Amino acid sequence: MTQPGIKFTVDDYMTAPEEKRYQLLDGQMVLAPSPTSRHQAIVRELSAALHRFVTEHELGQMWFAPLDVVLSDHDVAQTDLLYVSGARAGTVTEANIQGAPDLVAEVLSPGSTQHDRGYKRTLYGRSGVREYWIVDPESRTVEVYVAGDHGLDHRATYRRHEALTSQLLPGLAIDLESVFPRRH
């Protein structure tokens, strides 16, 4: 779909076919396949727990894909989950999020692992995301990265039998037993 040396812009992205789910990463249109049922179940459980906490404490707003997050003229991500604090509420528009959310969570899929662990982690760090969660359904872990001097630095890895906590959201504790479905 792309030619070497050609970078697409946000304007190009906005005219892509609506029936397909794309992201614009470093000027390249990346087709995101439909998530699996396990992926969706994990997003649902994480979203519910995070939404409950954010709402109870009146901290801001929770969002989930598909929703465009415009980070630069050559980067429009569709994150699985994102949190925008009250302080960054001005980034939320009717059409999309214009700027970095406070927290982004990506649930790995076979086709997204390289982008989520590589370019997106760098992109989110460069753009001002304060905390990034990489959720791995296979290992049933959540890696937490926090903003540091050189982008997003690894803070902790939580396993299925542990409670996920957040430096960004003090008091949050998500029981990962409820997030990762049991294997049969």
Residue range 62-112, pLDDT digits in tens: 998 889 999 999 999 989 999 999 999 999 999 999 999 999 999 998 878
* 102-155: pLDDT as tens digits: 999 999 988 788 888 998 999 999 999 999 999 999 999 999 999 998 899 999
Query: Using an 8 Å Cβ cutoff, are 106 and 133 in contact?
Result: yes
pTM of the model: 0.86
The pLDDT value recorded for residue 28 is: 76
CATH 3.90.1570.10 is held by the domain 34-175: yes
Question: How many angstroms separate the CA atoms of 49 and 68, rounded?
Answer: 22
Cross-strand bridge partners of residue 29: 24
CA dihedral 109, 131, 122, 95 (to 10 degrees): 80
Nearest to 8 by CA among 30, 33, 37: 30
In the chain, where the domains are located: 34-175
